Chains A and B, each alone.
Chain A
Amino acid sequence: MATVSTKLRDPIVPDKREALDVQRIRDDFPVLKRTINDKPLVYLDSAATTQKPKQVIDAIADNYRHNYANVHRGVYTLSAEATDLYEGTRSAVATLIGAPSTKEIIFTRNTTESINLVAYSWGLSNLKSGDEILLTEMEHHSNLVPWYMIAKRTGAIVRHMPLRADYTLDLTAGLDMINPQTKIVSVSHTSNVLGVINPIAEIAERARKHGAIVVVDAAQGVPHSKVDVSQMDIDFLAFSAHKMLGPSGVGVLYGREELLEAMEPFMGGGDMISSVTLDGATWNELPWKFEAGTPNIADVIGFRAAIEYLEKLGMDNVRKHEIELTEYALERMKEVKDFTIFGPQDAESRAGVISFVQEGVHPHDLATILDREGIAIRAGHHCAQPLMEILGQTATARASFYVHNDRHDVDALMAGLSCAGRFFGR
């Protein structure tokens, strides 16, 4: 069978339009120097999780080497240093997303836990039978299952805003579904399958009119563009460090202070209490009320290096770079016969995550064939089974881009796709 060329990457001729200096960025990612099956790694699965620059890896190691101790407890210097670093990341997160106060930034394990926190702490006390929870048909399981669980316990009803034929949200029908019974509207900022970016402001405006709270799953949003909660009029925003160059095991929940104040804690234990007696306990103040037990100290500290890395590049440049690359990929994909892309065709209006199927080649087989060429893509249902049902697929292939990807990576993917086509067409 034909194989993809493995020659070393030629530097792309600098072009004034390029938003990022990818060549330099690539030098920061140790993993990009390795080979997979004797081919240079082409990592196209950043929507699942991102690779880490050395600045992040070093920050975590430095913490363990120099400043590690438990936080919020010790009287001694080391603990004070660790606490300062840990809380320093909280300030950096607040600044990144435009949150007015660090009280509104809660560290969790991941986006899923952040959404569960809202579902349990806000949902269990505020929902009653017949209330409506409004989601969309394009949600990730992390923004479906917690609500199904809470609906089952409270008698609330889960509804889903439909999609249009072009895979974008049917806003007309969707907004009409918001009514006085709607208590929660929880939508993804950006679909992890379709790359669709949702009109959060319009949804939030209608939700406000009916007194519903607005939750945004921004796992695919915050890492790829400027997301500013002060401009959005929303109540909660969830995202994960590991999808934005940071370590795994750190998630963020932004919540409006007055809502967080009124909510019961999600989990009980150390650090989240103000005092404990044999009769009961009172809660710590925000945000620690929602951070029970020893947190993921070193990884939270390492997360700051990821935020600083992205801020140095500039979130607007990150977005511009992904638009450029997506535009190039969409254009090249037009060359492929019997090829279906599930998502908008206009790069400006979508994110750098492209789901597709190639006629005659199942996504899993495609992923295996590409892996032989060192190319990592995702194949499967992407934790969005209801959406897969709507798309009429059991699985799709998905390529997703980030700051270290360039046109070489797209070219490698395209060569791999034609190789797979020939292989199965033989």
Chain B
Amino acid sequence: MVDSKQNKDVQLNDLYRDTVLDHFRSPRGTKPIDRVDIRREGNNPLCGDKLEMSIKMSDDTIEDIEVHCKGCAISVASTSMLAELVPGMKKDDALKLAEGFKQMMHGQPAPEGLDIGDLDSLEGVKDFPVRVKCALLAWMTIIDALRADARDDDQTGAMTSTEDKQD
């Protein structure tokens, strides 16, 4: 008999840890920034979650970020954690962090030496496969935003979709 075991023995408390709920209730990074160098939207077309990300760069460093996410607790919390982590990071380091978090969500351990901050509280999401996309929306959006090197390239209207690639 086929019986879905995917959620068995996984407590809801593992998914919705206090840190996650705290970020959900008071998301960081929503204050307007004084200059926008990169702007990008992200969406999850299957569930309708949407976010708008604005980044202020100084050379290769992310100076500030403003991001607004309309979505579930997981996507809002993950977005908020991103907003807390990336300011002050070099573009390459932010990309490394994003790729490391993606790995984590796919069940692999985070790369050694990577400071993932509050993101470890999202570890339980990997046991709820249908919710992994929620956790990754903000991170896929920032990967696209930074890779497109938007200061040269107008990203107005550019959109990251969780359905665009195999993630």
Contact = CB atoms under 8 A, between A and B. Distances in A.
A379 B72 CA distance: 11
B84 interface: no
Contacts of B4: 36
Contact of A394 (B3, B7, B50, B74): B50
Contacts of A388: 48
Interface string A394-426: 110000000000000000000000000001101
Interface stretch (A5-13, A249-257, A322-330, A365-373): A365-373
A418 to B, nearest CB: 15
Given A362-B71, A423-B16, A424-B21, A372 B47 contact: no
Given A368-B15, A372-B12, A37 B7 contact: yes
B26 to A, nearest CB: 13
B31 interface: no
B8 interface: yes
A372 B11 CA distance: 9
B48 A385 contact: yes
Interface of B: 3-4, 7-8, 12-13, 15-16, 21, 46-50, 70-74, 76, 128, 131, 134
Contact of A365 (B8, B16, B70): B16
Contacts, number: 54
15 contacts: A38-B8, A364-B72, A364-B131, A364-B134, A365-B72, A365-B73, A365-B74, A368-B15, A368-B128, A368-B131, A369-B12, A394-B49, A394-B70, A423-B12, A423-B16
Interface in A15-39: 34-38
B3 A34 contact: yes
A380 B12 contact: no
A308 B76 CA distance: 48
A364 B75 CA distance: 10
A381 interface: yes
A75 interface: no
Nearest to A363: B72
A394 B70 CA distance: 7
Given A362-B71, A365-B74, A426-B21, 18 more contacts: A1-B12, A36-B4, A38-B8, A363-B72, A364-B47, A364-B74, A364-B131, A371-B7, A372-B12, A379-B47, A380-B46, A381-B47, A385-B48, A388-B48, A394-B50, A394-B71, A395-B47, A424-B16
Nearest to A373: B12
Contacts of A35: 3
Interface in A28-72: 34-38
A362 B72 contact: yes
Interface string A356-391: 000000111100110110000001110001001000
B20 to A, nearest CB: 10
A9 B153 CA distance: 61
A318 B166 CA distance: 43
A379 B49 CA distance: 11
Nearest to B49: A394
A396 to B, nearest CB: 9
Query: B3, B73, B74: which has the most chain A beta carbons within 10 Å?
Result: B73
